[in-house]
Amino acid sequence: MGTLLVRNARVLVTMDAQRREIADGAVFIRDNVIEQVGASANLPQQADEVIDAGRHVVLPGLVNTHHHMYQSLTRALPAAQDAELFDWLQALYPVWAGLRPEMLRVATLTAMTELLLSGCTTSSDHLYLFPNGCRLEDSIEAAQRIGMRFHATRGAMSVGRSQGGLPPDSLVEDEAAILKDSQRLIETWHDSRRHAMLRIALAPCSPFSVSRDLMREAAAMARHYGVGLHTHLAENASDVAYSREKFNMTPAEYAESCGWVGPDVWHAHCVQLDEHGIDLFARTGTGVAHCPCSNMRLASGIAPVRRMHERGVAVGLGVDGSASNDGAHMLGEARQAMLLQRVGFGPDAMSARQALELATLGGARVLGRDDIGALAPGMSADLVMFSLDGIGFAGALHDPVAALVFCPPANVDCSIVNGRVVVREGRCVTVETGVLLEQHQHCAMALASG
């Protein structure tokens, strides 16, 4: 791939151990790895490609720790606009049952384009329904095509309505088949090496859609192979009530009883995680994917992120699925995280820089990676460039870094993933966005009309 130099950055936000912000900063990349970071004057002046970042704030690529990309086909669906989690799911399950492989591929590619333009370079995706021949490969192929660093999670639902679960029986899978497919996916695709572009994690969907046995067996398999574990937990009051009624435990107690705590586990939401749960997660290194927009959209509540932060819980950000956050914008998610913590816990509950840290280092830690989330020698070459020339930043250049979070969420001008320029001049260069959006609209209409 050769060498790539990004130089003259207005500010280079490193997120390194000293949290340095370098004026007139530069990054020198060889192949897919960062070799040098510093002031432009102190770095090499030549490279195979040189990108001038004189109008930009340069950041480590943002990390999205929770998403359901297929849901980009069902944004703003009238039947699910004004419901809380369980009603919202029950309105959408019958629609999602019509998902087909071609729709899944197009939806994932579209969701990834949206994420890349918003500053995200690494994303997780939680795919937990596989109707009509859909496979995890449909999303993996989309990531490979677009050039995004990807943590594909093999989700699952196995407890249908007739067994006391929430989803319709027609959407659940047999548990032996789920485990067999999980094993196949890990053996085929999982890359545990540094700078990996693709990892697999196991992700039974939620306590109200899978059995305790499947939770335990998924944990055993994940640990055998050294892959991550991901699910939804303590999302809202109904979720907690289900756990108490069905298992006679809080969600955190249930997770612990199934072996679902540890640095290899990350739980989405945790809006209603209690003090015991926060302590447990801090002690065990268990991660949280905080999804503020979705939590507001479904009126789930305000996750105690400030408290988690004080206790040392690993917290990253997730945009969550596009049916519960109809705008999957990573920088926007950081902004909402900051604003929502302030609504809940006061004006000093989260600063702009803390929000950016959640979106970079926080996400990297939650996904179990030490090679992304910061710009430093030896890290993967993932960086994004935001221009501050737009009207949204007028009058905000007193503090360009804080402005990125306080002002309206901007799209990137340039995005580099694993040493490759994937967004250039504000356009994703690996897909034909116009054609893709036409296909996406066609798929969305077909899915909604059954």
Instruction: State the nearest-atom distance from the C-beta of 363 to Zn ion, in Å.
Output: 15
CA 111 to chain centre: 11
Instruction: State the nearest-atom distance from the C-beta of 64 to Zn ion, in Å.
Output: 12
Please identify, using beta-carbon distances, which residue of 158 and 439 lies nearer to Zn ion: 158
**How many angstroms separate the CA atoms of 91 and 378, rounded?**
47
Q: Which 295-324 positions form the footprint of Zn ion (CB under 5 A)? A: 320
Instruction: State the nearest-atom distance from the C-beta of 176 to Zn ion, in Å.
Output: 25
**How many angstroms separate the CA atoms of 109 and 113, rounded?**
6
Please identify, using beta-carbon distances, which residue of 75 and 145 lies nearer to Zn ion: 75
DSSP per position, 363-426: HHHHTT-SSSSS-STTSB--EEEEE--SGGGTT-TTSHHHHHHHSPPPPPSEEEETTEEEEETT
Q: Which 38-77 positions form the footprint of Zn ion (CB under 5 A)? A: none
Instruction: Return the residue nearest Zn ion (CB atom).
Output: 320
Q: Which 323-382 positions form the footprint of Zn ion (CB under 5 A)? A: none
Please identify, using beta-carbon distances, which residue of 58 and 268 lies nearer to Zn ion: 268
Please identify, using beta-carbon distances, which residue of 268 and 317 lies nearer to Zn ion: 268
SS3 351: coil
Q: Which 263-282 positions form the footprint of Zn ion (CB under 5 A)? A: 268
Instruction: State the nearest-atom distance from the C-beta of 139 to Zn ion, in Å.
Output: 15
x-or-dash pattern for Zn ion, window 125-164, by CB under 5 A? ----------------------------------------
Please identify, using beta-carbon distances, which residue of 286 and 380 lies nearer to Zn ion: 286
**How many angstroms separate the CA atoms of 207 and 210, rounded?**
6
Instruction: State the nearest-atom distance from the C-beta of 275 to Zn ion, in Å.
Output: 24
DSSP per position, 246-305: HHSS-HHHHHHHTT--STTEEEEE-TT--HHHHHHHHHHT-EEEE-HHHHHHTT-----H
Q: How many residues bind Zn ion (CB under 5 A)?
A: 2
SS3 62: strand
Helix, strand, coil percent content, the chain, rounded in steps of 5: 40, 20, 35
Please identify, using beta-carbon distances, which residue of 70 and 281 lies nearer to Zn ion: 70
Of the candidates 368, 412, 378, which has an alpha carbon nearest to the alpha carbon of residue 17?
378
Q: Which stretch binds Zn ion (CB under 5 A): 50-58, 72-80, 262-270, 347-355?
A: 262-270
Instruction: State the nearest-atom distance from the C-beta of 268 to Zn ion, in Å.
Output: 5
The total of other beta-carbon atoms located within 10 Å of residue 307's CB is 17
Instruction: State the nearest-atom distance from the C-beta of 405 to Zn ion, in Å.
Output: 23
Q: Which residues bind Zn ion (CB under 5 A)?
A: 268, 320
